[in-house]
Amino acid sequence: MVKQERHFVLVHGACHGAWCWYKVATQLESMGHQVTALDMAASGIHPKQVHEIHSISDYFEPLTEFMASLPPEERVILVGHSKGGYCISAAMERFPEKVAVAVFATAFMPGPELTSETLSQKLIERMDSDKLMDTHFAFLNGMDEPATSILLGPNFMASKLYQLSPPEDLTLALTLARHDVVYKDEESMKATAVTKEKYGSVRRVYIVCNKDNVMKEDYQRWMIGNNPPDEVKVISDSDHMVMFSKPYELCSCLQDIAEKYT
């Protein structure tokens, strides 16, 4: 039994939803913690459709609204996976006093001097030559304009995200995945920008997954080197979907973080 209940807020990555935390949420709750797994806009079972999301701020509005609804004295543990790192960073910037610690699980980790644009460019540079394989892009503004949404392809998901995860979890993901918004406009850059004064006042832990085939370990280490967190943990033999391939190890890390930082 844990000595104290903590409140974990879990944020998913691109094309996924709150459903992807089902193993971790169950385990954390069995350990006596409170868990809130959120769907970002147009993700999971969120009612909005992708064409209704006009900015990255719209995308992480469910997290913004949740943070705003917390009692003034409550401080949560934010956990972001993959694209969810941008969401929790925005929450840290807006509500630093409500975050006990932020955990980036093989996630994008922007910083005051590390923009989302730089993170995206470096990721593309370090990806394999086959890049996004059978991933599908939609162009709601016309083929001459930038893509507006992305749906990760089944072959890409199987070989780059889920290669070490149970096959039934890949089947679940292929059933539930939804198109995810793509925004590279100036407004989105501003919405994901963070400062030393606010974001920088929140303690951060990065969880490296060393068998991630999309955000490879050298890329994760590059982010860590350019925006050092308070602590780095490693989950060995985990693919990108650490909540499926190594759920118990992830929960153990989260428990350790909760005990140390709250």
What is the CB-side half-sphere exposure of residue 215 using CA atoms within 13 A? Answer: 26
Whole-structure pTM value:
0.96
- What residues in the chain have per-residue pLDDT under 50? 1-2
**CATH superfamily entry for domain 7-261:** Alpha/Beta hydrolase fold, catalytic domain (3.40.50.1820)
Q: Which two tokens stand for residue 121?
A: 């460019």
Sketch the domain layout of the chain as residue ranges.
7-261
Has 134 been annotated as catalytic? no
The DSSP line for 80-149 is EETTHHHHHHHHHHH-GGGEEEEEEES----BTTB-HHHHHHHHHHHS-TTTTTT-EEE-TT-TTS---E
pLDDT tens, position by position, 137-187: 988 888 888 888 999 999 999 999 999 999 999 999 999 999 998 876 777
Backbone angles phi, psi at 18, to 5 degrees: -55, -25
Q: What are phi and psi of 103, to 5 degrees?
A: -115, 125
> Among 82, 89, 188, 238, which one carries the catalytic annotation?
82
- Indicate the residue type of 62: P
As given in the structure block, the two tokens for residue 125 are 């540079």
Catalytic residue among 7, 12, 46, 240: 240
Q: For position 3, what pLDDT does the model report?
A: 55
Is 256 catalytic? The answer is no
Q: Hey, what are 202's tokens?
A: 């929140």
pLDDT of residue 2: 43
Catalytic residue selected from 39, 169, 180, 212? 212
CA-wise closest residue to 25 among 177, 253, 251:
251
Per-residue pLDDT tens digits for 217-234: 999 999 999 999 999 999
Is 51 tagged catalytic? no
What is the Cα gyration radius of the chain? 17
Is residue 85 within 8 Å of 15, Cβ to Cβ? no
